[in-house]
Amino acid sequence: MKRWGLPALVGLLILAVAGFWGYREYQNKVVLENYLNSRYQMSFYNLINRVQNMEVLLGKTLATAGDTDNTLIFSEIWLQAEGARENLTQLPLTSDIVGRTAKFLAQSGDFARVEVKKITSGQSLADEEFNILNSLYRQASQLNRDLQSMERQVADGRLTVAEITQSARQELDKGAPTGGSSNFQSIDQQMQGFPTLIYDGPFSDHLDRAAPVGLGNEPTSADEARNIARKFVDIPDDESYRAQVAGRTKEKIPGYTIELIPRNGQAGRIVGNVSDKGGKIVWYMDSRTIGAPKLSIDQARDKALNFLESRGYQNTVNVYHQTQDNRVIFNFIPQERGVVLYPDQLKVSVALDDGQIIGFDARGYLMAHKERDIPAPKISDSEARGKVNKRMAITRTRLAIIPTDDGKERFSYEITGDINGETYLVYVNAITGKTDNVLKLIEQKNGILTM
């Protein structure tokens, strides 16, 4: 008996410790699971409440359409829709299941925001917008009804949020929705009937169809694209790189991906895109390591300007820069007859060790640059300056074309000034005299941030 008494004791002790440890782990797991479940439940119930509020608010707009009191209702729809979208995307569901529902919520909120802007600028609702509201209302009540029936299943205990989580995970492996998330899937399919919305907001459907206007028409062959890239990229000795086509891209600016491969294997590769139409460099990036900085920001800016001019981008002004470690990223915009064109932005990254251009991006320019018919301003610059706060000490006024959320452009006075030692940019519409936008300049050691 004594010979195996001790080992038995030790064995039992180990088992007890292991058991205790396992039990603690299990307890922790239960606590965490409950915690996570409650978070998901909170999102789910908030979602239902917000969609319900949306339904009611959209209904109200139908009853009071045309009234300026609508502003309040519309801003509330915007608030509820954004909240609902956030709640929906916090649920453990993949975007193929909730994508369209999220889009419906985003567009309803976006549409409401545009209406608020319209009403505050004195316009009233057109018949077309009344129709859109009507269809949004019907969609919202359908969504509300579906969510309510899901809620009943959740409350009955027939469906737990944990189940939705699990089924969503299985579905990632299998590819077909199962269990709880199929409920969301069927809701999402009904959202398919939701009509295309054309309005002036950033989520409007017409923005997806935006096409580049600054390219040109002549198609480019792969060989030409290689040469274009080799000539454009800022490399000290073009012989030391071999250009090859790495692939085709089918994005908004379709074209070729070109890689410049160093012949001696020391330097890094440089990658960039050349557009199919017009053979323009869309962007390029050199990821080489950068040594200790030797250039000042101003010297780097000169390098960037020289680079742009030698590559055919004349008459640009630097509007903004940020220093990051040993490089600076400059933003340039073209100027036309004294008007700065913000939509046609160009980005240039300069390495501060030898002034090489290690990054270039012309996407903004190629998407937006065109022959513009810039009208004469209807209000004078002194009238425009009268629109800003009297306490602002104005340091500069100039005319600018600025982009709007919906991909359109506005013609405005850009008024720069200081209040309490902080710098603000106020954009006053040169045609209507209304304030289009206000930006704050945040000066940091590594650059200026606009917000």
171-190 residues in contact with other proteins (CB under 8 A) are: 171-173, 175
Contact pick of 27, 34, 64, 95 for other proteins (by CB under 8 A): 95
Strands (E), 310-356: 316-324, 327-336, 339-341, 346-351
33 counts as binding other proteins under rule CB under 8 A: no
192 counts as binding other proteins under rule CB under 8 A: no
> What amino acid occupies position 197?
L
Helix (H, G, I), strand (E, B) or coil at 402: strand
42 counts as binding other proteins under rule CB under 8 A: no
Q: Which residues pair with 275 in a beta bridge?
A: 255
| CB neighbour class for 250 (10 Å; exposed up to 12, middle 13-18, buried from 19) | exposed
Contact pick of 54, 73, 84, 93 for other proteins (by CB under 8 A): 93
Question: Of the two residues 92 and 355, which places its CB atom closer to other proteins in the complex?
Answer: 92
Alpha helices in 91-221 (DSSP H): 95-120, 127-156, 161-174, 179-190
# residues near other proteins by CB under 8 A: 72
Give the contact letters, 282-321, x = binds to other proteins (CB under 8 A), - = no: xx-x-x----------------------------------
Per DSSP, the residues of 59-73 read HHHHHHTT-TTHHHH
**Angle at which helices 2-64 and 161-174 cross, to 10°:** 100
Residue 73 Cβ vs other proteins, minimum distance, rounded to whole Å: 22
Q: Which residues pair with 360 in a beta bridge?
A: 284, 348
264's CB contacts (< 8 A; 6+ apart) are 240
Question: Of the two residues 366 and 428, which places its CB atom closer to other proteins in the complex?
Answer: 366
325 counts as binding other proteins under rule CB under 8 A: yes
15 counts as binding other proteins under rule CB under 8 A: yes
Residue 375 Cβ vs other proteins, minimum distance, rounded to whole Å: 29
114's CB contacts (< 8 A; 6+ apart) are 199, 200, 201, 406
Query: Positive or negative, the Cα torsion across 207, 209, 214, 215?
Result: positive
Q: Which tokens hold the place of 17?
A: 């410790």
* Nearest C-alpha neighbor of 184 from the set 164, 204, 169: 164
Contact pick of 41, 49, 182, 249 for other proteins (by CB under 8 A): 249
The DSSP letter of residue 222 is H
168 counts as binding other proteins under rule CB under 8 A: yes
45 counts as binding other proteins under rule CB under 8 A: no
CA atoms of 61 and 216, how far apart (whole Å): 46
Question: Of the two residues 46 and 322, which places its CB atom closer to other proteins in the complex?
Answer: 322
Residue 194 Cβ vs other proteins, minimum distance, rounded to whole Å: 11
CA dihedral 377, 383, 384, 387 (to 10 degrees): -150
Contact pick of 132, 253, 308, 400 for other proteins (by CB under 8 A): 253
Contact pick of 8, 16, 31, 72 for other proteins (by CB under 8 A): 8
399-428 residues in contact with other proteins (CB under 8 A) are: none
Residue 16 Cβ vs other proteins, minimum distance, rounded to whole Å: 12
89 counts as binding other proteins under rule CB under 8 A: yes
Question: Of the two residues 15 and 31, which places its CB atom closer to other proteins in the complex?
Answer: 15
Question: Of the two residues 74 and 256, which places its CB atom closer to other proteins in the complex?
Answer: 256
Q: Which tokens hold the place of 162?
A: 């944990």
57-86 residues in contact with other proteins (CB under 8 A) are: 82, 85-86
Residue 271 Cβ vs other proteins, minimum distance, rounded to whole Å: 5
Question: Of the two residues 390 and 445, which places its CB atom closer to other proteins in the complex?
Answer: 445
193 counts as binding other proteins under rule CB under 8 A: no
442 counts as binding other proteins under rule CB under 8 A: yes
3-state secondary structure 305-316: HHHHHHCCCCCE
